Amino acid sequence: MLHARISASDASPAGDATISVLLSQITQGIDARFVTVGKTLAQAVESIDGIVTALREATSTFEAGEGAAAVSNLTTAARRLSGVGHQMQGRAQEMGEIQQASRRLSAHIAEVKKSLHVLHIFGLNVKIAASGADTFVDFANTMSGQLAAGEAEVGALQAKLEGLATSLRSMEHNDRLLASECQRVVPHVPDRLEADAAALRKHQAMLSELAEKNAVLARSIQGSVANVLGAIQVGDIARQRLEHVLQGYADMQATLATAGLCAEDEAATRDHLLRLLLAQLTSSAQEFRTETQALVRALRGMVPEADRLIALSKGGGSEDGQVFLRSLEAGIAEASAMIAQLQLADAQAAETLRIIVDTVDDLTGRAAAMRILRIEVQQMAINIGLKCRRVEAIGRPVAVIANEIRASSDSLDQTIKQITAESAGLGAISLRMRKHADAHVGQDSDGLASSLSAIREGALRTEQAMAVSERMASGLLGALRSTTDELEQSLDLGDALERIEDLLTIELGRDVPLALEGRDDQIIRAVMERMARSYTMASERMVHEAFLLPGMARLIADKPISSASPGGSADDDDALFDDALF
Protein backbone atom coordinates (compact mmCIF):
# COMPACT_ATOMS: atom_id res chain seq x y z
CA MET A 1 0.00 0.00 0.00
CA LEU A 2 1.28 3.44 -0.93
CA HIS A 3 -0.37 5.10 2.04
CA ALA A 4 2.08 6.09 4.77
CA ARG A 5 2.16 8.14 7.89
CA ILE A 6 2.42 11.91 7.19
CA SER A 7 4.48 14.28 9.26
CA ALA A 8 5.19 17.99 9.14
CA SER A 9 8.58 17.26 7.57
CA ASP A 10 6.78 16.25 4.36
CA ALA A 11 6.00 19.93 3.69
CA SER A 12 9.54 20.56 2.40
CA PRO A 13 11.44 20.34 -0.89
CA ALA A 14 11.71 16.65 -0.18
CA GLY A 15 7.94 16.67 0.28
CA ASP A 16 7.59 18.25 -3.14
CA ALA A 17 9.52 15.35 -4.60
CA THR A 18 7.37 12.92 -2.63
CA ILE A 19 4.19 14.37 -4.15
CA SER A 20 5.59 14.04 -7.68
CA VAL A 21 6.86 10.51 -7.07
CA LEU A 22 3.59 9.37 -5.55
CA LEU A 23 1.55 10.85 -8.39
CA SER A 24 3.81 9.14 -10.92
CA GLN A 25 3.58 5.80 -9.11
CA ILE A 26 -0.20 6.02 -8.88
CA THR A 27 -0.67 6.80 -12.58
CA GLN A 28 1.57 3.87 -13.51
CA GLY A 29 -0.27 1.55 -11.08
CA ILE A 30 -3.69 2.53 -12.40
CA ASP A 31 -2.60 1.98 -15.98
CA ALA A 32 -1.11 -1.47 -15.26
CA ARG A 33 -4.08 -2.71 -13.26
CA PHE A 34 -6.80 -1.50 -15.59
CA VAL A 35 -5.03 -2.80 -18.70
CA THR A 36 -5.00 -6.25 -17.07
CA VAL A 37 -8.67 -5.92 -16.15
CA GLY A 38 -9.54 -4.87 -19.70
CA LYS A 39 -7.74 -7.86 -21.22
CA THR A 40 -9.46 -10.26 -18.82
CA LEU A 41 -12.90 -8.89 -19.65
CA ALA A 42 -12.17 -8.97 -23.39
CA GLN A 43 -11.27 -12.66 -23.05
CA ALA A 44 -14.53 -13.18 -21.15
CA VAL A 45 -16.48 -11.72 -24.08
CA GLU A 46 -14.69 -14.13 -26.44
CA SER A 47 -15.49 -17.06 -24.12
CA ILE A 48 -19.17 -16.20 -24.25
CA ASP A 49 -18.97 -16.13 -28.05
CA GLY A 50 -17.65 -19.69 -27.82
CA ILE A 51 -20.52 -20.71 -25.53
CA VAL A 52 -23.17 -19.26 -27.86
CA THR A 53 -21.57 -20.90 -30.92
CA ALA A 54 -21.40 -24.32 -29.24
CA LEU A 55 -25.02 -24.09 -28.11
CA ARG A 56 -26.14 -23.01 -31.57
CA GLU A 57 -24.48 -26.11 -33.04
CA ALA A 58 -26.20 -28.30 -30.45
CA THR A 59 -29.68 -26.96 -31.24
CA SER A 60 -29.08 -27.26 -34.99
CA THR A 61 -28.72 -31.03 -34.48
CA PHE A 62 -32.38 -31.25 -33.49
CA GLU A 63 -33.68 -28.65 -35.92
CA ALA A 64 -32.21 -29.73 -39.25
CA GLY A 65 -30.55 -32.61 -41.11
CA GLU A 66 -30.58 -36.31 -40.21
CA GLY A 67 -30.88 -35.65 -36.50
CA ALA A 68 -34.15 -33.78 -36.96
CA ALA A 69 -35.66 -36.58 -39.09
CA ALA A 70 -34.35 -39.52 -37.04
CA VAL A 71 -36.98 -39.48 -34.29
CA SER A 72 -39.73 -38.95 -36.85
CA ASN A 73 -38.41 -41.93 -38.82
CA LEU A 74 -38.52 -44.09 -35.71
CA THR A 75 -42.12 -43.10 -35.08
CA THR A 76 -43.06 -43.83 -38.69
CA ALA A 77 -41.37 -47.24 -38.53
CA ALA A 78 -43.14 -48.09 -35.26
CA ARG A 79 -46.50 -47.20 -36.74
CA ARG A 80 -45.66 -49.25 -39.83
CA LEU A 81 -45.01 -52.27 -37.65
CA SER A 82 -48.24 -51.66 -35.76
CA GLY A 83 -50.14 -51.59 -39.04
CA VAL A 84 -48.66 -54.80 -40.43
CA GLY A 85 -51.63 -56.89 -39.27
CA HIS A 86 -54.11 -54.68 -41.10
CA GLN A 87 -51.83 -54.62 -44.13
CA MET A 88 -51.66 -58.43 -44.18
CA GLN A 89 -55.44 -58.71 -44.02
CA GLY A 90 -55.73 -56.49 -47.07
CA ARG A 91 -53.01 -58.42 -48.86
CA ALA A 92 -54.65 -61.76 -48.00
CA GLN A 93 -57.88 -60.52 -49.54
CA GLU A 94 -56.01 -59.43 -52.66
CA MET A 95 -54.25 -62.79 -52.87
CA GLY A 96 -57.62 -64.56 -52.63
CA GLU A 97 -58.97 -62.45 -55.48
CA ILE A 98 -55.85 -63.15 -57.56
CA GLN A 99 -56.11 -66.89 -56.92
CA GLN A 100 -59.77 -66.93 -57.93
CA ALA A 101 -59.01 -64.93 -61.07
CA SER A 102 -56.11 -67.31 -61.87
CA ARG A 103 -58.37 -70.34 -61.51
CA ARG A 104 -60.97 -68.80 -63.79
CA LEU A 105 -58.29 -67.88 -66.29
CA SER A 106 -56.94 -71.43 -66.19
CA ALA A 107 -60.45 -72.74 -66.90
CA HIS A 108 -60.92 -70.29 -69.78
CA ILE A 109 -57.54 -71.17 -71.26
CA ALA A 110 -58.44 -74.86 -71.00
CA GLU A 111 -61.62 -74.03 -72.92
CA VAL A 112 -59.57 -72.22 -75.55
CA LYS A 113 -57.23 -75.17 -75.81
CA LYS A 114 -60.20 -77.51 -76.15
CA SER A 115 -61.77 -75.28 -78.82
CA LEU A 116 -58.53 -75.22 -80.79
CA HIS A 117 -58.30 -79.00 -80.57
CA VAL A 118 -61.90 -79.36 -81.84
CA LEU A 119 -61.19 -76.94 -84.68
CA HIS A 120 -58.11 -78.96 -85.57
CA ILE A 121 -60.29 -82.10 -85.81
CA PHE A 122 -62.78 -80.21 -87.96
CA GLY A 123 -59.91 -79.31 -90.28
CA LEU A 124 -59.04 -82.99 -90.70
CA ASN A 125 -62.70 -83.76 -91.32
CA VAL A 126 -62.77 -81.15 -94.09
CA LYS A 127 -59.89 -82.96 -95.80
CA ILE A 128 -61.66 -86.31 -95.49
CA ALA A 129 -65.07 -85.03 -96.61
CA ALA A 130 -63.53 -83.16 -99.54
CA SER A 131 -61.93 -86.41 -100.82
CA GLY A 132 -58.62 -84.65 -101.37
CA ALA A 133 -59.98 -81.71 -103.36
CA ASP A 134 -57.15 -79.19 -103.55
CA THR A 135 -59.25 -76.14 -102.71
CA PHE A 136 -60.58 -77.61 -99.50
CA VAL A 137 -57.29 -79.27 -98.54
CA ASP A 138 -55.50 -75.91 -98.83
CA PHE A 139 -58.12 -74.34 -96.58
CA ALA A 140 -57.69 -77.12 -94.04
CA ASN A 141 -53.87 -76.88 -94.08
CA THR A 142 -53.95 -73.08 -93.63
CA MET A 143 -56.39 -73.38 -90.75
CA SER A 144 -54.23 -76.09 -89.18
CA GLY A 145 -51.20 -73.80 -89.24
CA GLN A 146 -53.14 -70.98 -87.61
CA LEU A 147 -54.51 -73.32 -84.97
CA ALA A 148 -50.97 -74.47 -84.18
CA ALA A 149 -49.98 -70.83 -83.64
CA GLY A 150 -53.00 -70.43 -81.38
CA GLU A 151 -51.98 -73.48 -79.36
CA ALA A 152 -48.53 -71.93 -78.87
CA GLU A 153 -50.19 -68.78 -77.50
CA VAL A 154 -52.25 -70.92 -75.15
CA GLY A 155 -49.14 -72.75 -73.94
CA ALA A 156 -47.41 -69.44 -73.20
CA LEU A 157 -50.46 -68.23 -71.26
CA GLN A 158 -50.48 -71.40 -69.18
CA ALA A 159 -46.79 -70.90 -68.37
CA LYS A 160 -47.53 -67.34 -67.24
CA LEU A 161 -50.32 -68.49 -64.97
CA GLU A 162 -48.09 -71.20 -63.50
CA GLY A 163 -45.43 -68.58 -62.75
CA LEU A 164 -48.06 -66.41 -61.08
CA ALA A 165 -49.25 -69.39 -59.01
CA THR A 166 -45.68 -70.09 -57.86
CA SER A 167 -45.21 -66.44 -56.86
CA LEU A 168 -48.50 -66.47 -54.97
CA ARG A 169 -47.40 -69.55 -53.02
CA SER A 170 -44.14 -67.80 -52.06
CA MET A 171 -46.11 -64.72 -51.09
CA GLU A 172 -48.42 -66.79 -48.87
CA HIS A 173 -45.41 -68.49 -47.25
CA ASN A 174 -43.67 -65.19 -46.44
CA ASP A 175 -46.87 -63.67 -45.14
CA ARG A 176 -47.40 -66.67 -42.85
CA LEU A 177 -43.90 -66.17 -41.43
CA LEU A 178 -44.60 -62.46 -41.08
CA ALA A 179 -47.87 -63.21 -39.30
CA SER A 180 -46.01 -65.47 -36.86
CA GLU A 181 -43.42 -62.77 -36.18
CA CYS A 182 -46.18 -60.20 -35.89
CA GLN A 183 -47.86 -62.24 -33.15
CA ARG A 184 -44.55 -62.36 -31.28
CA VAL A 185 -43.69 -58.65 -31.23
CA VAL A 186 -46.92 -56.73 -31.89
CA PRO A 187 -48.11 -54.63 -30.22
CA HIS A 188 -45.53 -54.28 -27.45
CA VAL A 189 -42.40 -53.67 -29.58
CA PRO A 190 -43.93 -51.02 -31.89
CA ASP A 191 -45.61 -49.40 -28.89
CA ARG A 192 -42.30 -49.35 -27.07
CA LEU A 193 -40.50 -47.89 -30.07
CA GLU A 194 -43.11 -45.19 -30.46
CA ALA A 195 -43.11 -44.39 -26.75
CA ASP A 196 -39.30 -44.22 -26.68
CA ALA A 197 -39.29 -42.00 -29.75
CA ALA A 198 -41.86 -39.70 -28.17
CA ALA A 199 -39.86 -39.56 -24.93
CA LEU A 200 -36.67 -38.84 -26.84
CA ARG A 201 -38.41 -36.10 -28.82
CA LYS A 202 -39.52 -34.56 -25.52
CA HIS A 203 -35.97 -34.88 -24.17
CA GLN A 204 -34.56 -33.23 -27.28
CA ALA A 205 -37.09 -30.41 -26.97
CA MET A 206 -35.98 -29.95 -23.36
CA LEU A 207 -32.34 -29.85 -24.43
CA SER A 208 -33.12 -27.36 -27.18
CA GLU A 209 -34.98 -25.18 -24.70
CA LEU A 210 -32.13 -25.51 -22.21
CA ALA A 211 -29.58 -24.63 -24.87
CA GLU A 212 -31.63 -21.60 -25.87
CA LYS A 213 -31.88 -20.49 -22.24
CA ASN A 214 -28.12 -20.88 -21.91
CA ALA A 215 -27.57 -18.87 -25.07
CA VAL A 216 -29.91 -16.10 -23.91
CA LEU A 217 -28.24 -15.98 -20.50
CA ALA A 218 -24.78 -16.03 -22.08
CA ARG A 219 -25.70 -13.15 -24.38
CA SER A 220 -27.08 -11.24 -21.39
CA ILE A 221 -23.81 -11.73 -19.50
CA GLN A 222 -21.90 -10.78 -22.63
CA GLY A 223 -23.85 -7.53 -22.88
CA SER A 224 -23.17 -6.76 -19.22
CA VAL A 225 -19.48 -7.55 -19.61
CA ALA A 226 -19.32 -5.39 -22.73
CA ASN A 227 -20.87 -2.51 -20.77
CA VAL A 228 -18.36 -2.94 -17.97
CA LEU A 229 -15.59 -3.18 -20.53
CA GLY A 230 -16.71 0.17 -21.90
CA ALA A 231 -16.90 1.63 -18.41
CA ILE A 232 -13.45 0.34 -17.51
CA GLN A 233 -12.11 3.65 -18.85
CA VAL A 234 -12.54 4.92 -15.29
CA GLY A 235 -8.90 3.94 -14.87
CA ASP A 236 -7.86 5.89 -17.95
CA ILE A 237 -9.90 8.89 -16.78
CA ALA A 238 -8.25 8.81 -13.35
CA ARG A 239 -4.81 8.38 -14.90
CA GLN A 240 -5.29 11.36 -17.21
CA ARG A 241 -6.61 13.57 -14.42
CA LEU A 242 -3.71 12.67 -12.13
CA GLU A 243 -1.24 13.28 -14.94
CA HIS A 244 -2.78 16.74 -15.37
CA VAL A 245 -2.42 17.36 -11.63
CA LEU A 246 1.20 16.18 -11.79
CA GLN A 247 1.89 18.40 -14.82
CA GLY A 248 0.20 21.37 -13.14
CA TYR A 249 2.16 20.82 -9.95
CA ALA A 250 5.45 20.56 -11.85
CA ASP A 251 4.56 23.64 -13.93
CA MET A 252 3.79 25.61 -10.77
CA GLN A 253 7.07 24.65 -9.12
CA ALA A 254 9.16 25.38 -12.20
CA THR A 255 7.44 28.68 -12.96
CA LEU A 256 7.66 29.98 -9.38
CA ALA A 257 11.33 29.01 -9.21
CA THR A 258 12.17 31.46 -12.01
CA ALA A 259 9.41 34.08 -11.62
CA GLY A 260 11.30 36.32 -9.18
CA LEU A 261 8.16 37.26 -7.26
CA CYS A 262 8.29 38.81 -3.87
CA ALA A 263 7.61 36.51 -0.94
CA GLU A 264 4.03 37.74 -0.47
CA ASP A 265 3.11 37.41 -4.17
CA GLU A 266 4.75 33.98 -4.41
CA ALA A 267 2.89 32.78 -1.32
CA ALA A 268 -0.46 34.01 -2.69
CA THR A 269 0.25 32.46 -6.11
CA ARG A 270 1.31 29.12 -4.61
CA ASP A 271 -1.72 29.13 -2.29
CA HIS A 272 -4.21 29.64 -5.15
CA LEU A 273 -2.62 27.07 -7.47
CA LEU A 274 -2.19 24.48 -4.71
CA ARG A 275 -5.86 24.85 -3.78
CA LEU A 276 -6.80 24.28 -7.46
CA LEU A 277 -4.53 21.22 -7.65
CA LEU A 278 -5.90 19.92 -4.35
CA ALA A 279 -9.47 20.38 -5.60
CA GLN A 280 -8.65 18.52 -8.83
CA LEU A 281 -6.95 15.74 -6.88
CA THR A 282 -9.84 15.44 -4.41
CA SER A 283 -12.40 15.40 -7.25
CA SER A 284 -10.38 12.81 -9.16
CA ALA A 285 -9.95 10.58 -6.10
CA GLN A 286 -13.65 10.77 -5.23
CA GLU A 287 -14.67 10.05 -8.83
CA PHE A 288 -12.21 7.17 -9.09
CA ARG A 289 -13.38 5.60 -5.84
CA THR A 290 -17.09 6.06 -6.65
CA GLU A 291 -16.90 4.73 -10.19
CA THR A 292 -14.59 1.84 -9.29
CA GLN A 293 -16.99 0.80 -6.53
CA ALA A 294 -19.83 0.94 -9.09
CA LEU A 295 -17.79 -1.32 -11.38
CA VAL A 296 -17.19 -3.77 -8.56
CA ARG A 297 -20.93 -3.87 -7.79
CA ALA A 298 -21.73 -4.42 -11.48
CA LEU A 299 -19.24 -7.29 -11.71
CA ARG A 300 -20.54 -8.87 -8.52
CA GLY A 301 -24.04 -8.65 -9.98
CA MET A 302 -22.92 -10.85 -12.90
CA VAL A 303 -21.60 -13.64 -10.68
CA PRO A 304 -25.07 -15.15 -9.96
CA GLU A 305 -25.77 -15.20 -13.72
CA ALA A 306 -22.48 -16.99 -14.37
CA ASP A 307 -23.32 -19.49 -11.58
CA ARG A 308 -26.73 -20.04 -13.18
CA LEU A 309 -25.10 -20.59 -16.57
CA ILE A 310 -22.89 -23.30 -15.06
CA ALA A 311 -25.91 -24.91 -13.38
CA LEU A 312 -27.91 -24.88 -16.63
CA SER A 313 -25.00 -26.43 -18.51
CA LYS A 314 -24.77 -29.21 -15.93
CA GLY A 315 -28.51 -29.76 -16.40
CA GLY A 316 -27.87 -30.93 -19.96
CA GLY A 317 -26.07 -34.06 -18.80
CA SER A 318 -26.07 -37.25 -20.81
CA GLU A 319 -27.69 -39.67 -18.31
CA ASP A 320 -31.27 -39.25 -19.53
CA GLY A 321 -30.17 -39.30 -23.16
CA GLN A 322 -28.22 -42.52 -22.61
CA VAL A 323 -31.29 -44.13 -21.03
CA PHE A 324 -33.32 -43.29 -24.12
CA LEU A 325 -30.58 -44.56 -26.42
CA ARG A 326 -30.31 -47.90 -24.59
CA SER A 327 -34.08 -48.34 -24.68
CA LEU A 328 -34.19 -47.54 -28.39
CA GLU A 329 -31.36 -49.97 -29.12
CA ALA A 330 -33.22 -52.76 -27.30
CA GLY A 331 -36.47 -51.95 -29.08
CA ILE A 332 -34.84 -51.91 -32.51
CA ALA A 333 -33.07 -55.21 -31.76
CA GLU A 334 -36.42 -56.81 -30.86
CA ALA A 335 -38.05 -55.41 -33.98
CA SER A 336 -35.21 -56.39 -36.34
CA ALA A 337 -36.51 -59.94 -37.04
CA MET A 338 -39.97 -58.64 -37.85
CA ILE A 339 -38.52 -55.85 -39.97
CA ALA A 340 -36.42 -58.39 -41.90
CA GLN A 341 -39.46 -60.63 -42.44
CA LEU A 342 -41.52 -57.61 -43.43
CA GLN A 343 -38.86 -56.75 -45.99
CA LEU A 344 -39.04 -60.28 -47.43
CA ALA A 345 -42.83 -60.19 -47.55
CA ASP A 346 -42.83 -56.77 -49.19
CA ALA A 347 -40.19 -57.89 -51.68
CA GLN A 348 -42.21 -60.99 -52.56
CA ALA A 349 -45.36 -58.91 -52.87
CA ALA A 350 -43.51 -56.57 -55.20
CA GLU A 351 -42.31 -59.55 -57.26
CA THR A 352 -45.85 -60.96 -57.41
CA LEU A 353 -47.11 -57.55 -58.43
CA ARG A 354 -44.52 -57.47 -61.21
CA ILE A 355 -45.62 -60.91 -62.41
CA ILE A 356 -49.27 -59.86 -62.32
CA VAL A 357 -48.54 -56.78 -64.40
CA ASP A 358 -46.47 -58.90 -66.79
CA THR A 359 -49.24 -61.52 -66.95
CA VAL A 360 -51.88 -58.88 -67.64
CA ASP A 361 -49.77 -57.43 -70.43
CA ASP A 362 -49.18 -60.92 -71.84
CA LEU A 363 -52.85 -61.85 -71.58
CA THR A 364 -53.85 -58.66 -73.34
CA GLY A 365 -51.47 -59.27 -76.22
CA ARG A 366 -52.20 -62.96 -76.64
CA ALA A 367 -55.95 -62.48 -76.32
CA ALA A 368 -55.74 -59.96 -79.15
CA ALA A 369 -53.79 -62.50 -81.24
CA MET A 370 -56.39 -65.18 -80.56
CA ARG A 371 -59.19 -62.80 -81.49
CA ILE A 372 -57.52 -62.31 -84.85
CA LEU A 373 -57.12 -66.09 -85.14
CA ARG A 374 -60.80 -66.57 -84.37
CA ILE A 375 -61.82 -64.07 -87.04
CA GLU A 376 -59.56 -65.73 -89.63
CA VAL A 377 -60.94 -69.18 -88.83
CA GLN A 378 -64.46 -67.86 -89.10
CA GLN A 379 -63.66 -66.29 -92.48
CA MET A 380 -62.26 -69.61 -93.66
CA ALA A 381 -65.45 -71.36 -92.60
CA ILE A 382 -67.50 -68.84 -94.55
CA ASN A 383 -65.28 -69.29 -97.62
CA ILE A 384 -65.56 -73.07 -97.34
CA GLY A 385 -69.33 -72.74 -97.25
CA LEU A 386 -69.30 -70.63 -100.40
CA LYS A 387 -67.05 -73.12 -102.19
CA CYS A 388 -69.39 -75.95 -101.23
CA ARG A 389 -72.14 -74.48 -103.44
CA ARG A 390 -69.98 -74.98 -106.52
CA VAL A 391 -69.08 -78.58 -105.75
CA GLU A 392 -72.35 -80.40 -105.22
CA ALA A 393 -70.87 -83.88 -104.82
CA ILE A 394 -68.89 -83.08 -101.70
CA GLY A 395 -70.49 -79.78 -100.80
CA ARG A 396 -73.13 -80.97 -98.34
CA PRO A 397 -70.85 -82.79 -95.82
CA VAL A 398 -68.20 -80.08 -96.05
CA ALA A 399 -70.84 -77.38 -95.51
CA VAL A 400 -71.97 -79.17 -92.34
CA ILE A 401 -68.38 -79.15 -91.06
CA ALA A 402 -68.02 -75.47 -92.00
CA ASN A 403 -71.06 -74.65 -89.90
CA GLU A 404 -69.50 -76.49 -86.94
CA ILE A 405 -66.30 -74.51 -87.43
CA ARG A 406 -68.27 -71.24 -87.31
CA ALA A 407 -70.09 -72.37 -84.15
CA SER A 408 -66.79 -73.29 -82.47
CA SER A 409 -65.26 -69.94 -83.45
CA ASP A 410 -68.22 -68.15 -81.88
CA SER A 411 -67.71 -70.15 -78.69
CA LEU A 412 -63.99 -69.31 -78.82
CA ASP A 413 -64.89 -65.62 -79.14
CA GLN A 414 -66.92 -65.75 -75.92
CA THR A 415 -64.08 -67.46 -74.08
CA ILE A 416 -61.56 -64.87 -75.30
CA LYS A 417 -63.86 -62.08 -74.07
CA GLN A 418 -63.94 -63.75 -70.64
CA ILE A 419 -60.13 -63.94 -70.64
CA THR A 420 -59.97 -60.23 -71.49
CA ALA A 421 -62.38 -59.42 -68.63
CA GLU A 422 -60.33 -61.46 -66.14
CA SER A 423 -57.21 -59.73 -67.39
CA ALA A 424 -58.81 -56.35 -66.67
CA GLY A 425 -59.76 -57.59 -63.20
CA LEU A 426 -56.16 -58.61 -62.50
CA GLY A 427 -55.03 -55.19 -63.69
CA ALA A 428 -57.37 -53.51 -61.19
CA ILE A 429 -56.05 -55.71 -58.39
CA SER A 430 -52.47 -54.84 -59.33
CA LEU A 431 -53.29 -51.13 -59.13
CA ARG A 432 -54.72 -51.59 -55.63
CA MET A 433 -51.66 -53.55 -54.57
CA ARG A 434 -49.40 -50.82 -55.91
CA LYS A 435 -51.36 -48.17 -54.04
CA HIS A 436 -51.25 -50.13 -50.79
CA ALA A 437 -47.54 -50.87 -51.20
CA ASP A 438 -46.76 -47.17 -51.71
CA ALA A 439 -48.82 -46.29 -48.64
CA HIS A 440 -46.83 -48.71 -46.46
CA VAL A 441 -43.31 -47.78 -47.48
CA GLY A 442 -41.22 -47.82 -44.32
CA GLN A 443 -37.66 -48.03 -43.08
CA ASP A 444 -35.70 -51.24 -43.08
CA SER A 445 -33.49 -52.34 -40.21
CA ASP A 446 -30.52 -50.49 -41.71
CA GLY A 447 -32.64 -47.35 -41.87
CA LEU A 448 -33.57 -47.67 -38.22
CA ALA A 449 -29.94 -48.25 -37.34
CA SER A 450 -29.05 -45.08 -39.27
CA SER A 451 -31.71 -43.16 -37.37
CA LEU A 452 -30.33 -44.46 -34.08
CA SER A 453 -26.82 -43.48 -35.18
CA ALA A 454 -28.03 -39.97 -36.02
CA ILE A 455 -29.72 -39.70 -32.61
CA ARG A 456 -26.56 -40.94 -30.88
CA GLU A 457 -24.44 -38.41 -32.78
CA GLY A 458 -26.87 -35.64 -31.85
CA ALA A 459 -26.70 -36.64 -28.19
CA LEU A 460 -22.90 -36.62 -28.33
CA ARG A 461 -22.81 -33.16 -29.91
CA THR A 462 -25.21 -31.89 -27.27
CA GLU A 463 -23.05 -33.33 -24.48
CA GLN A 464 -19.98 -31.71 -26.00
CA ALA A 465 -21.75 -28.36 -26.39
CA MET A 466 -22.96 -28.45 -22.80
CA ALA A 467 -19.47 -29.41 -21.62
CA VAL A 468 -18.01 -26.47 -23.56
CA SER A 469 -20.67 -24.22 -22.06
CA GLU A 470 -19.93 -25.43 -18.53
CA ARG A 471 -16.16 -25.17 -18.96
CA MET A 472 -16.28 -21.70 -20.49
CA ALA A 473 -18.88 -20.54 -17.96
CA SER A 474 -16.56 -21.68 -15.16
CA GLY A 475 -13.73 -19.75 -16.80
CA LEU A 476 -16.01 -16.75 -17.13
CA LEU A 477 -16.91 -16.95 -13.46
CA GLY A 478 -13.22 -17.07 -12.58
CA ALA A 479 -12.54 -14.07 -14.82
CA LEU A 480 -15.33 -12.06 -13.19
CA ARG A 481 -14.04 -12.86 -9.71
CA SER A 482 -10.42 -12.09 -10.54
CA THR A 483 -11.47 -8.84 -12.21
CA THR A 484 -13.54 -7.91 -9.17
CA ASP A 485 -10.58 -8.66 -6.88
CA GLU A 486 -8.28 -6.58 -9.08
CA LEU A 487 -10.65 -3.63 -9.03
CA GLU A 488 -11.13 -3.91 -5.27
CA GLN A 489 -7.36 -3.81 -4.86
CA SER A 490 -7.34 -0.73 -7.07
CA LEU A 491 -9.37 1.00 -4.39
CA ASP A 492 -6.15 0.95 -2.31
CA LEU A 493 -4.86 3.60 -4.71
CA GLY A 494 -7.42 5.90 -3.13
CA ASP A 495 -5.42 5.70 0.10
CA ALA A 496 -2.32 6.91 -1.73
CA LEU A 497 -4.34 9.74 -3.23
CA GLU A 498 -5.46 10.69 0.27
CA ARG A 499 -1.80 10.86 1.30
CA ILE A 500 -1.07 13.25 -1.54
CA GLU A 501 -4.08 15.32 -0.50
CA ASP A 502 -2.60 15.47 3.01
CA LEU A 503 0.80 16.47 1.61
CA LEU A 504 -0.76 19.24 -0.46
CA THR A 505 -2.77 20.36 2.58
CA ILE A 506 0.41 20.49 4.67
CA GLU A 507 2.12 22.43 1.91
CA LEU A 508 -0.76 24.94 1.95
CA GLY A 509 -0.27 25.37 5.67
CA ARG A 510 -3.54 27.22 6.25
CA ASP A 511 -7.27 26.72 6.00
CA VAL A 512 -8.16 30.20 4.73
CA PRO A 513 -6.99 31.18 1.22
CA LEU A 514 -4.61 34.10 0.92
CA ALA A 515 -6.11 37.23 -0.58
CA LEU A 516 -5.09 38.03 -4.16
CA GLU A 517 -6.16 41.68 -4.16
CA GLY A 518 -3.25 43.90 -5.01
CA ARG A 519 -1.04 40.89 -5.77
CA ASP A 520 0.75 40.04 -8.99
CA ASP A 521 -1.49 37.26 -10.43
CA GLN A 522 0.13 36.84 -13.86
CA ILE A 523 1.80 33.58 -12.89
CA ILE A 524 -1.55 32.23 -11.68
CA ARG A 525 -3.23 33.15 -14.95
CA ALA A 526 -0.41 31.68 -17.09
CA VAL A 527 -0.26 28.37 -15.20
CA MET A 528 -4.06 28.03 -15.10
CA GLU A 529 -4.34 28.68 -18.84
CA ARG A 530 -1.79 25.97 -19.55
CA MET A 531 -3.63 23.62 -17.23
CA ALA A 532 -6.94 24.42 -18.93
CA ARG A 533 -5.50 23.49 -22.32
CA SER A 534 -4.46 20.07 -20.98
CA TYR A 535 -7.92 19.09 -19.70
CA THR A 536 -9.78 16.26 -21.44
CA MET A 537 -12.64 15.80 -18.97
CA ALA A 538 -15.69 17.95 -18.31
CA SER A 539 -15.26 17.26 -14.59
CA GLU A 540 -11.80 18.87 -14.68
CA ARG A 541 -13.22 22.01 -16.29
CA MET A 542 -15.97 22.21 -13.69
CA VAL A 543 -13.40 22.18 -10.86
CA HIS A 544 -11.24 24.68 -12.75
CA GLU A 545 -14.18 27.11 -13.15
CA ALA A 546 -14.33 27.68 -9.39
CA PHE A 547 -10.77 29.08 -9.38
CA LEU A 548 -11.01 31.45 -12.36
CA LEU A 549 -9.77 34.99 -11.72
CA PRO A 550 -11.67 38.03 -12.93
CA GLY A 551 -11.38 38.42 -16.68
CA MET A 552 -10.39 34.80 -17.37
CA ALA A 553 -12.40 32.92 -20.04
CA ARG A 554 -14.86 30.34 -18.83
CA LEU A 555 -14.29 26.72 -19.85
CA ILE A 556 -17.92 25.57 -19.63
CA ALA A 557 -20.68 27.26 -21.64
CA ASP A 558 -24.02 28.12 -20.07
CA LYS A 559 -25.71 25.59 -22.43
CA PRO A 560 -24.52 22.02 -23.01
CA ILE A 561 -22.01 21.76 -25.84
CA SER A 562 -23.15 19.46 -28.63
CA SER A 563 -20.96 16.56 -29.64
CA ALA A 564 -20.27 18.29 -32.96
CA SER A 565 -18.86 21.42 -31.24
CA PRO A 566 -15.19 21.97 -30.37
CA GLY A 567 -14.48 20.25 -27.09
CA GLY A 568 -17.52 18.00 -27.47
CA SER A 569 -15.37 14.89 -27.70
CA ALA A 570 -13.75 15.71 -24.39
CA ASP A 571 -17.07 16.11 -22.65
CA ASP A 572 -18.14 12.79 -24.06
CA ASP A 573 -15.51 10.92 -22.03
CA ASP A 574 -17.44 11.34 -18.78
CA ALA A 575 -20.82 10.86 -20.48
CA LEU A 576 -19.62 7.67 -22.16
CA PHE A 577 -18.62 6.24 -18.81
CA ASP A 578 -22.02 7.00 -17.28
CA ASP A 579 -23.90 5.51 -20.24
CA ALA A 580 -21.72 2.42 -20.36
CA LEU A 581 -22.31 1.44 -16.78
CA PHE A 582 -25.86 2.64 -16.26
pLDDT of residue 5: 28
Whether the pLDDT of residue 3 is over 50: the answer is: no
The pLDDT of residue 320 is 60
Higher per-residue pLDDT: 527 or 370: 527
Position 579 scores a pLDDT of 40
Residue-level pLDDT at 266: 93
Rounded Cα distance between 54 and 60, Å, is 10
pLDDT tens digits, one per residue of 115-137: 888 888 888 888 888 777 777 78
- How much is the average pLDDT of 407-418? 86
Higher per-residue pLDDT: 25 or 231: 25
Residue 563 in this model has a pLDDT that exceeds 70: no
The DSSP symbol for 366 reads: H
User: Is a pLDDT exceeding 90 seen at residue 546?
Assistant: yes
Residues 6+ away with beta carbon under 8 Å from 186: 81, 82, 84, 85, 338
Q: What percent of the chain has pLDDT over 90?
A: 11
Nearest partner of 253 among 537, 4, 19, 540, judged by Cα: 19
Give the integer Cα–Cα distance in Å for 440 and 434.
Answer: 10
Mean pLDDT of 57-86: 72
Position 224 pLDDT exceeds 60:
yes
- pLDDT band of residue 376 (cuts 50, 70, 90) is confident
Give percent above pLDDT 70 in the chain: 86
7-16, 371-380, 446-455, 504-513: lowest mean pLDDT where?
A: 7-16
**Cα distance between residue 453 and residue 175, in whole Å:** 30
Residues 516, 269: Cα–Cα separation, whole Å? 8
Q: What are 513-534's pLDDT values in tens digits?
A: 998 888 899 999 999 999 999 9
What digits encode the pLDDT tens for the residues 433-442?
888 777 665 5
**In the prediction, which pLDDT does 16 show?**
56
Q: What is the mean pLDDT of the segment spanning 28-54?
A: 78
